[in-house]
Amino acid sequence: MKGVFPIKTFETTDTPFYYYDTDLLRKTLRAIIDEIGKYENYNVHYAVKANANPKLLNIICQAGLGVDCVSGGEIMAALNAGFSPDKIVFAGVGKSDKEIKLGLDKGIYCFNVESIPELEVINQLAEQCGKVASIALRINPNVSAHTHANITTGLAENKFGIAMSDMDDVIAKALAMKNVKFMGLHFHIGSQILDMGDFVALCNRINDLQAQLETHHIKIDLINVGGGLGIDYNHPNRVPIPDFKSYFETYAKHLKLRKGQSLHFELGRSVVGQCGSLITKVLYVKQGSFKKFAIVDAGMTDLIRPALYQAYHKIENISNDESLETYDVVGPICESSDVFAKAIDLNECHRGDLIAIRSAGAYGEIMASQYNCRPLPKGYIKEEMI
Ligand code: LLP
């Protein structure tokens, strides 16, 4: 089964480009809203890092989600797309003074703080501008996630967050500060997680930490569990919408929220991943000594995930249904790692055929670069292609 695309319009559009199926995005957002509607105080902040295309941000904003930003640039992108400051959380292990001031100035909902020095700087800068910054402390839960080593973040060896053993001291420091308001705890264990057991492990850890805080009579208003829900890269057509039901149910079942506490999620990939495809054209079909190459006009500059993480993306020849042949699909960049897939079956490729690299809505367009002086790929939404 292949995806359904407006081929006629694609044929007259310069490749490579990203194509976003906004109907699927809207359905995905509806699924999220329906699921969180079943619980009290569940809030989803879309992780802007996954894709900051203004048209997508605007649709996500209209659906009523908040945002999770990790830079001043992302805060501005979110504000420009219409998100209100009180729906913005700001995370990141290295926030600059300028970015912190921007957050203070705009009055964002919460800073997710990752170290004592950062806490001190936020307190100082807030004092200078006569404000009180709401903060959550990002705790490194030392929970391992079953995902790619480069995208696991919740292990003690990772650079993220405050060590659990320091939590009580840091909270005491925060509570003593005049210009920060301590709101709660933030976590994130990694990305592309499909094993709900990993989230259960996080819930168990948070339950222990809450119990520990209560022995010190410390109450918290919010818990932010980060993002990480994965998508089905193998079956973008069969499983276009991730299993949000099981995901939120896992938290409802295993996390012991106290009365009045709000629970926050920072979902990126699961929101936008499946709605995006990178559309590229076959430039040449080359017979090598041992294999056949389909050389396409998109490269690792347009979608770096296969080169960086050996990530799998389903690839389809959307121009014809001829018999299958085996190809390495490679880009034009002067790097041996500029390979989208090795030894995959595609309908026979000819010069000019359109190729869809699927499940590329998250960490695709946003991670594009201009290496080799290539232009950045454009992103089109369905409405623009009819
Ligand atoms: N919250 C925090 C604190 C994060 O670090 C991340 C992702 C998210 C939320 C969103 O996670 P998601 O729901 O998208 O899994 N470039 C890599 C992924 C890097 C993820 C970084 N942090 C990739 O292409 O797989």
Instruction: Give pLDDT, residue 356.
Output: 98
What's the DSSP call for residue 152?
B
Chain Cα centroid distance, residue 339: 23
What's the DSSP call for residue 241?
S
**285 CA to middle of ligand 1, Å?**
35
Instruction: Give pLDDT, residue 145.
Output: 79
CA distance 139 to 348: 51
Is the beta carbon of 152 within 6 A of some atom in ligand 1?
no
Output the DSSP codes for 183-245.
Answer: EEEE---BSSB--HHHHHHHHHHHHHHHHHHHHTT---SEEE----B---SS-TTT--S--HH
- The answer to whether 179 and 133 are in contact (CB under 8 A) is yes
Instruction: Give pLDDT, residue 158.
Output: 72
Identity of the residue numbered 212:
Q
363 φ/ψ sector (left φ>0, alpha ψ -120 to 50, else beta): left
- Report the SS3 class of residue 122: helix
Residue with tokens 């659990």: 164
270 CA closest ligand 1 atom index? 13
Query: Beta-strand (E) ranges in the chain?
Result: 17-20, 42-47, 66-69, 88-90, 110-113, 133-140, 162-163, 180-186, 222-224, 262-267, 276-287, 292-296, 315-317, 324-330, 339-347, 354-357, 378-381
pLDDT tens digits for range 308-335? 999 999 999 999 999 999 999 999 999 9
**66 CA to middle of ligand 1, Å?**
16
Report the percent of the chain where pLDDT is more than 70.
97
CA distance 368 to 381: 18
Instruction: Give pLDDT, residue 157.
Output: 66
What is the CATH number assigned to the segment(s) 22-271? 3.20.20.10
Q: How confident is the prediction for the chain on average, in pLDDT? A: 96
pLDDT at 136 over 70: yes
Compute the average pLDDT of residues 71-99. 97
Compute the average pLDDT of residues 121-126. 98
Instruction: Give pLDDT, residue 148.
Output: 66
230 CA closest ligand 1 atom index? 15
pLDDT tens digits for range 368-382? 999 999 999 999 999
Neighbours of 376 (CB within 10 A): 11
CA distance 295 to 286: 7
CA distance 23 to 25: 5
Is the beta carbon of 305 within 6 A of some atom in ligand 1?
yes
pLDDT at 147 over 80: no
269 CA closest ligand 1 atom index? 14
- Mutation choice for ligand 1 from 49, 192, 243, 357, CB with most ligand atoms inside 8 A: 49
Domain boundaries defined on the chain? 7-17+274-384, 22-271
Residue 271's pLDDT band, with cuts at 50, 70 and 90, is very high
At 191, list the tokens: 């990305």
**Looking at domain 7-17+274-384, which CATH architecture does it have?**
Beta Barrel (2.40)
